[in-house]
Amino acid sequence: MRIGPRPSRPAAGGAMVEEDLSGAGSMHPPSPEQALVLAAIERFMADPDLALEGQPAGDGDSVDVLSAILRALTMVLPLEEIELAVTGLLTVHCDRLDDDTQLVLEALLTAIERDDDEMALDTLLASEASLLEANALDGNYLLVWDPAEAPPLREMEILDVLERYPCRGEAARWNCDDFVALLEGKILQWRKTMVALEILQEQPGTRPAASTMVLLVPEDPAAPLEQLEVGVTLSPPSPGSSGDASARSLPG
């Protein structure tokens, strides 16, 4: 996909016209934020494999290039500025964009408008890679995302989770079966992570799949609690280190 100068196209009388978003001869050149959006689209569409960076091995089939573009942009721009930049490109510069770029911009805008909370969570998780890794290696703590708390993403002991978010009573937003399912999911993902850690120690150049569980607390007090499995990238072990030293097992 080309972004910026477009191929020449026939104009009135058969002449060829070159369209350019660089700003030369344009009444409204792209803003710096719009230029960043276009650069991200160009980069990922030219090399979709970039979306695999930071993903656990085995997740290649599920990687979404659109999500990767959004994640990259949210590392340098607030979501609100991304939305304004995309909207501006579609309204002011739409006649200067190629069809593929317009489709990506429209999909980005739809994704942003559809679920800002989900994107905010994705951004937070991406910025908390070290916390995710530490929790994946720790069988004694649960990760909880609650936007009403500070910080919104934190580790909690299992009994503290039950005390803060009871599964019985009028204020309950989940039930005992949900809590058991969260514990079972945590055990399963912790064991998977331990296997991945062993593989990483034996083959440091690999990216074995690891993951952990996150309890999601929606801002709406009437909404039920949710559970999310999150992929984790394990750090390569230092020479002579032992995975047992960095991993804490689930209580017996």
- Tens-place pLDDT, residues 56-105: 444 444 347 888 888 888 889 888 899 999 999 998 888 888 888 899 99
Q: Kindly state the DSSP code that residue 42 receives in the 8-state scheme.
A: H
Which pLDDT score is estimated for 136? 93
Statement to judge: residues 23 and 120 lie in one domain: yes
Q: Which one of 124, 153, 186 terminates a domain?
A: 124
Statement to judge: residues 150 and 229 lie in one domain: yes
Among 171, 246, 173, which Cα is nearest to 215's? 173
Statement to judge: residues 103 and 172 lie in one domain: no
Among 5, 216, 203, which Cα is nearest to 101's? 5
Answer whether residue 252 is part of any domain: no
Q: Distance between CA 67 and CA 110 in Å, rounded?
A: 12
Which pLDDT score is estimated for 238? 67
Per-residue confidence band for 54, with pLDDT thresholds at 50, 70 and 90 = low
Q: Is pLDDT at 252 greater than 50 in this prediction?
A: no
- Tens-place pLDDT, residues 149-188: 988 899 999 999 999 999 999 889 999 999 999 999 999 9
Statement to judge: residues 61 and 134 lie in one domain: no
Statement to judge: residues 137 and 116 lie in one domain: no
Cβ burial of 240 (10 Å; 0-12, 13-18, 19+) is exposed
Q: Distance between CA 222 and CA 89 in Å, rounded?
A: 38
Statement to judge: residues 240 and 136 lie in one domain: yes
Q: Which one of 109, 124, 139 terminates a domain?
A: 124
Tokens of 243: 């995975």
Which pLDDT score is estimated for 92? 86
Q: Which of 5-19, 146-160, 222-236 has the lowest mean pLDDT?
A: 5-19
Number of domains within the chain: 2
112, 79 contact by CB (below 8 A): yes
Statement to judge: residues 117 and 133 lie in one domain: no
Statement to judge: residues 239 and 184 lie in one domain: yes
Statement to judge: residues 116 and 140 lie in one domain: no
Q: Distance between CA 170 and CA 248 in Å, rounded?
A: 35
Average pLDDT, the chain: 79
Statement to judge: residues 116 and 132 lie in one domain: no
Is residue 151 reached through a cis peptide bond, with omega within 30 degrees of 0 on the bond before it? yes
Q: Distance between CA 103 and CA 69 in Å, rounded?
A: 14
DSSP letter string over 62-100?
A: G--HHHHHHHHHHTTS-HHHHHHHHHHHHHHSGGGS-HH
Percent of the chain at pLDDT > 70 equals 75
Which pLDDT score is estimated for 204? 84
Statement to judge: residues 206 and 223 lie in one domain: yes
Return left, alpha or beta for 239; rule: phi > 0 is left, psi -120 to 50 is alpha, else beta. Answer: beta
Statement to judge: residues 74 and 174 lie in one domain: no
Q: Is pLDDT at 240 greater than 60 in this prediction?
A: no
Answer whether residue 3 is part of any domain: no
Q: What range defines the domain where residue 65 resides? A: 9-124
